[in-house]
Chain A
Amino acid sequence: MSRAAAALAAKREATEERLAPLALPQGGAWATEARQGAMARLREMGLPNRRDEYWRYTDPAALTAAEAPQAAVFDAGETPLFDDIDRLKIVFVDGVFDAEASDSFDEEAVEIIRLSDAAANDIHWAKSLYGVLEARGQTPVARPLAALNTALASDGVLIRVTGRVARPVSIIYRHAETTSDVYLHNLVQIEKGGDFTLLENGPAAARFNKVLEVEVADGAAFHHVRAQGRDHERHAATHIFARLGRESLFKSFTLTVNGALTRNEAVIELTSDDAVAHVAGAAVGDGAFHHDDTVFITHEGERCESRQVFKKVLRNGATGVFQGKILVKAGAQKTDGYQISQSLLLDGDSQFLAKPELEIYADDVICSHGSTSGAIDDEALFYLRSRGVPETEAQDLLVLAFLAEAIDEIEDEAIAADILSRLEAWLARRSR
């Protein structure tokens, strides 16, 4: 047996051992089929380990372990995020739907149903999409934690958008138990011409595994802003799988504050012409903080635009990881691809590991990528101080300036202001 084959065999064995005690959630035929399919995929590829190329910079052990690492609930005493924004609220506490705290699902131009309800209904629309985008996203790179999610998630929110939705749907993930281990799987289907904003926030659980599948039809638009909660010890593995139609728009922004380990993957396919996809992230962490953004964007249509803007502020031995790829397939002419990943290291102990990749099979494209890692600019700091701005305030100003390009990806001003206030609060907690 070759070494690679032996490694795979060992991996499969470990995976079998881990999966053996697990039972798939109850559900109707389509859901069971999707879950069994995911389980089969997972058995084939095996759960990730440190020797996997795709997990070189992030150790998945805490994400795959049978027992979730515990995480205390951290109360920063802030007003809840998006509080002033008119939105339809859907609340989960440690993965359990909270009907009392949630709004009614009745809303113009959108159909909302919980996965646990839809799974029982055998003729449901979600049938043709649930787990399908996740399965497509398993090549060319395997994403076993997403397959694990499709297999195990018993709840989540399924959203079908048929027009312009007046207010955002806001999913709030509260965390209450130090030992909670949660799988949620959400699905958004936006039909032709639809326009929809999804907000997500909260730490969700001690360990959270979440998948979001998004299909954006021709001419439709999807806006997504999420804030991953700030419990210091929480672990999270999240995946976004998106498929974009002609002239569609996809914009996703993620703020991550604290957390022991976060792996956010985004897998986006621009399947038709003239589509636009932007993914952005701002992550700030201190000490035992490991944050990994892994992005894979595939251009198939012509004249599509993609942007990846990822910024990290790291302090006291925090670690940031970025793996970002732009794949331009043959025929995807006039592709405009941009990728930037940067980290601001506030001290010498922190580190940033970046692997930007371009793979291009079309000749008439513009693709650029850049990655930098550096400290606060002393010249700028002195300039600000020489005008009377105290050192910590000047530093904060420069940190926010560093993050600005990512935050600018949020189109809605009120939402952007809310996100900014979280960053300011984080800075205030650290520096004073």
Chain B
Amino acid sequence: MLKINDLKVKLEEEDKQILKGVTLEVPAGKVHAIMGPNGSGKSTLSYVLSGRDGYEVTGGNATLDGVDLLEMEPEERAAAGLFLAFQYPVEIPGVGNMTFLRTAVNAQRKARGEEEISAADFLKEIRAKAKTLKIDADMLKRPVNVGFSGGEKKRNEILQMAMLEPKMCILDETDSGLDVDAMKLVAEGVNALRSEGRSFLVITHYQRLLDHIKPDVVHIMADGRIVKTGGPELALEVENNGYGDLLAEVA
């Protein structure tokens, strides 16, 4: 599904190399986790994959089902089935959450040559999905993320994911800032979406989330590289011993 090969990325504005050759592959239907200390380049990887400005790819490539991701506009990547749940979801005053989501759903459908969803069907679907994520009608009407608590913003990301039904979901620290109940809710939302044709790349700082979303593979990222790859036990190792030992062992 997602193939990243020796990806090297620097900042556009400064001479600062952030990703120094990242290689990983997430097959269809699998959940991979990336863990790593702050500043190791996890968010940068997710942004570069989704097409944010400000980065320059200096080497390597990334494909989604064989299609070169890095050549596409952000909206084309979304229509191709890529979704990023932001570490810091953006507030957009003046744009209603519901309007935003319907515009997005229809834009993706249009890009794929499908018919637009009817207003009634959309409403029915979003209400049902919002309910399972405990998102009330008021939150749907309010401007995108404006005045949302940290937990509400993260749940809103999962709602968007549920509505857009992407095939490759990247979750960037979706657990940060969540209490135990909110995290369970988010994890349930993610688990409900797990399917054979859908893959996940779950970026997290802590093992906690991975108790709820069981990964098939765990990667450890440090200083712009994947330094170790293993099974779920790797996450437990990080939890118990921190990154110190792991990184020392690799170095």
| Residues of A bordering B, CB below 8 Å | 377-380, 382-391, 393-394, 397-398, 400-405
Q: Which of B53, B91, B164 contacts A388 (CB 8 A)?
A: B164
Tell me if B92 counts as interface (CB < 8 A to partner A).
Answer: yes
Contact A383 to B92, CB < 8 A, known contacts A378-B53, A390-B75, A390-B107: yes
| A199 to B80 Cα, complex, angstroms | 47
Partner-A contacts on B (CB < 8 A) = 50-53, 73-75, 77-79, 83-84, 86, 89-95, 100-101, 103-105, 107-108, 111, 143-144, 160, 164
* Nearest-Cβ distance from residue B101 to partner chain A, whole angstroms: 8
B107 touching A401 by the CB < 8 A rule? no
Interface contact B95-A401, CB-CB below 8 Å: yes
- Contacts A386-B51, A387-B104, A389-B75 given; does A404 touch B164 at CB 8 Å: no
The answer to whether B74 touches A385, judged by C-beta atoms less than 8 angstroms apart, is: yes
Docked Cα-Cα span, A401 to B103, in Å, equals: 14
Contact B52 A384 (CB under 8 A): no
Query: Is the CB–CB distance between B92 and A398 below 8 Å?
Result: yes
A404-B202 Cα distance, complex, nearest whole Å: 37
Quick check: B103 and A397 within 8 Å, CB to CB?
A: yes
Q: 22 A-B contacts, Cβ less than 8 Å apart?
A: A378-B53, A380-B91, A382-B52, A382-B53, A384-B95, A384-B100, A385-B73, A385-B78, A386-B52, A386-B77, A387-B101, A387-B160, A388-B75, A388-B104, A388-B107, A388-B108, A390-B73, A393-B103, A394-B75, A397-B100, A401-B143, A405-B94
Tell whether, in the assembled complex, residue A386 and residue B78 are in contact, meaning their CB atoms are under 8 Å apart: yes
B112 and chain A: residue at smallest CB distance: A388
Beyond A390-B107, A391-B75, whether A384 also contacts B92 by CB under 8 A is: yes
Tell which of A383, A388, A391, A401 touches B94, judged by Cβ atoms closer than 8 Å.
A401
- A386-B74 contact in complex given A393-B107, A397-B103, C-beta closer than 8 Å: yes
**A384 CA to B100 CA in the complex, in Å?**
8
Question: A386-B84, A391-B73 are known contacts; what are 19 more A-B pairs with Cβ within 8 Å?
Answer: A377-B92, A378-B53, A380-B90, A384-B95, A384-B100, A385-B74, A385-B78, A386-B86, A387-B108, A387-B160, A388-B78, A388-B108, A390-B73, A393-B107, A397-B100, A397-B103, A398-B92, A400-B94, A402-B94
CB distance A398 to B78 under 8 Å?
A: no
Q: Which A residues are in CB contact (< 8 Å) with B77?
A: 386
Which of A380, A391, A403 has most chain B Cβ within 10 Å? A380
CB pair A387–B111 under 8 Å, yes or no, is no
Are B92 and A387 interface neighbours, CB within 8 A? no
CA distance A398 to B79 in the complex (A): 20
Whole-angstrom distance between the alpha carbons of A22 and B95 in the complex?
52
Does A384 contact B104, Cβ atoms closer than 8 Å?
A: yes
Give Cα A331 to B144, complex, Å.
42
Q: B77, B78, B79, B101: which has the most chain A beta carbons within 10 Å?
A: B78
- Complex: chain A residue closest to B99, CB-CB: A397
For A379, list chain B residues within 8 Å (CB): 90
Nearest A residue to B161 via CB reads A387
A389 B103 Cβ-Cβ under 8 A: yes
Least CB separation from B145: chain A residue: A383
Name B51's contact: one of A378, A385, A401, A403 (CB within 8 Å). A385
With A and B bound together, what is the CA distance between A384 and B145 in angstroms? 12
- The reply to whether A401 and B92 contact each other, CB–CB distance below 8 Å, is yes
A379 to B92 alpha-carbon distance, docked (Å): 9
Known A382-B74, A383-B86, A393-B103: A388·B111 in contact at CB below 8 Å: yes
**In the assembled complex, which residues on chain A have CB atoms less than 8 Å from the CB atom of B90?**
379-380, 382-383
Output the nearest chain B residue to A401 by Cβ-Cβ distance: B94
Say how far A22's CB is from chain B's closest CB, in angstroms: 47
Q: Once the chains bind, are A386 and B50 in contact (CB under 8 Å)?
A: yes
- Closest B residue by C-beta to A405: B94
How near does chain A come to B209, taking the closest CB pair, in angstroms? 22
Q: A379-B90, A382-B74 are in contact. Are A387 and B51 (CB under 8 A)?
A: no
Write out the residue numbers on chain A whose beta carbons fall within 8 Å of the beta carbon of B104: 384, 387-389
CB A374 to nearest CB in B, in angstroms, measures 13
Q: Chain B contacts of A391 at CB under 8 A? A: 73, 75
Q: Nearest residue in B to A383 (C-beta to C-beta)? A: B90
- Which residues does chain B contribute within 8 Å of A377, judged by CB atoms? 92
Q: What is the CB-to-nearest-CB distance from B155 to chain A, in angstroms, rounded to a whole number? A: 16
- Point out the residue from B52, B95, B107, B164 that lies within 8 Å of A398, measured CB to CB: B95
Separation in Å of the B158 CB from the closest CB of chain A? 13
Interface centre among A378, A388, A393 (most CB of B within 10 A): A388
Q: How far is the CB of B1 from chain A (nearest CB, A)?
A: 18
The residue among B51, B75, B77, B143 with the most chain A CB atoms within 10 A of its own CB is B75
Complex CA distance for A54 and B206, rounded to whole angstroms:
61
In the bound complex, what is the Cα–Cα distance between A405 and B94 (angstroms)? 8
CA distance A164 to B105 in the complex (A): 44
Bound complex: CA A388 to CA B143 (Å): 18
A382 / chain B contacts, CB cutoff of 8 Å = 51-53, 74, 90
Q: Find chain A residues with CB under 8 A from B84 CB.
A: 386
CB distance from B10 to the nearest CB of A (A): 19
A208 to B106, CA, bound (A): 43
Q: Is A397 a contact of B74 with CB atoms below 8 Å?
A: no
Choose one: A385, A397, A404; the contact of B75 (CB below 8 Å): A385
Whether B93 pairs with A401 at a CB distance below 8 angstroms is yes
How far is A398 from B92 in the complex, measured between Cα atoms in Å?
8
Contact of A389 with B92 in the complex, beta carbons under 8 Å: no
Complex contacts, B101 vs chain A, CB 8 Å? 387
Rounded to whole Å, the gap between the CB of B152 and the closest CB of chain A is 16
Shortest beta-carbon distance from B69 to chain A in Å: 12
- Measured between beta carbons, the chain B residues less than 8 angstroms from A398 are 92, 94-95
Q: Considering only CB atoms, which chain A residue lies closest to B78 in the complex?
A: A388
Q: Give the complex CA separation of A415 and B103 in angstroms.
A: 23
Q: Specify the chain A residue showing the minimal Cβ separation from B81.
A: A388
Contacts of B52 in A (CB 8 A): 382, 386
CA distance A398 to B143 in the complex (A): 12
In the complex, which residue of chain B has the Cβ closest to the Cβ of A397?
Answer: B95
